[in-house]
Structure 1
């Protein structure tokens, strides 16, 4: 493809995606049509169908664009692995969501049939599980909990917080929310809630014996 044609394609795709996001936030995904999307984008219908099958395919395309460029989703993975558990990949996700808040709102709301959100979740989860496995191998450790469970738990928590953060004025910056999530990951929920490990229900005492269950 010639450079000029390539630039036109990118412009058309950007315009279509921007139009979709704007219309979804105005009317909801189910209420909009391809004709409305192309009119808002000032793009011919033939151009739309040259790139996408339907509006659902366009919505999923937005997710895939985020994933295709790893520098937009998890650019700091290699840096984080080299420096330890920094939280940098999470911070970049929040910073990217801050810049593209409307796009993330549409995805995280599960607009359409939820396919875009499922794809977003799967892409992120698969990448995170890979990072956990690489980190375990690098340090020569055996995970105490299966890493597919760890990755899905981590991803679910991140998406839950991210959804709340992009939909509301929480008062937390990307750096602040990342710091809290990092501490939660490192120290756990018991520590985060202000308790000592021995205060947790079912905790082991200093001898390593679990307390008897309440009658």
Structure 2
């Protein structure tokens, strides 16, 4: 095997590629944060429904969880973007990406939230009910603040995974970082250098998020 080490990384190409790749940064961050926010909101209601005593609602939620955890993200994204138009429902690439990330992440996030809600001591529930608090106030003032500390590390992992998963939206022409990297790599005929650059940028983003998570955990532990 004859490896061309000199072709591994070209600083000149990297210097040109990085600014072009960073043009897609707002799309990468926007898609991941919006998808994560909507997925968390939906995931909370899915988690509460999973804990419901109404059996049909639990079965419906379990079907949602099974489907979302069993379908690859790219397949689900293509189903929304390319499949739904066949039945008369059409979304643009960005909307399709947000829907795919939100719906699929809600399955994983709901399980994180459900387990954290169940991890809160039952005495907290009983004390809140004894005070006559309505269920909405029990969740908002008693249970969720305690459960949040438990959910933080696994939720951060979901967010990091979503940041990396935005790369697949390049397949439906969303102008995020990987799409920009493909364009520059094709123009300069040097995919190796360009893909190393975009990999390092993803790594920096995820590292910054991880540092933010660690700092927030530290503050919550003090609280």
- Normalising by structure 1, we get a TM-score of 0.31
- Normalising by structure 2, we get a TM-score of 0.31
- Higher relative CO (CA 8 A, sep ≥ 6), structure 1 or 2? 2
Instruction: Flag the structure with higher helix content.
Output: 2
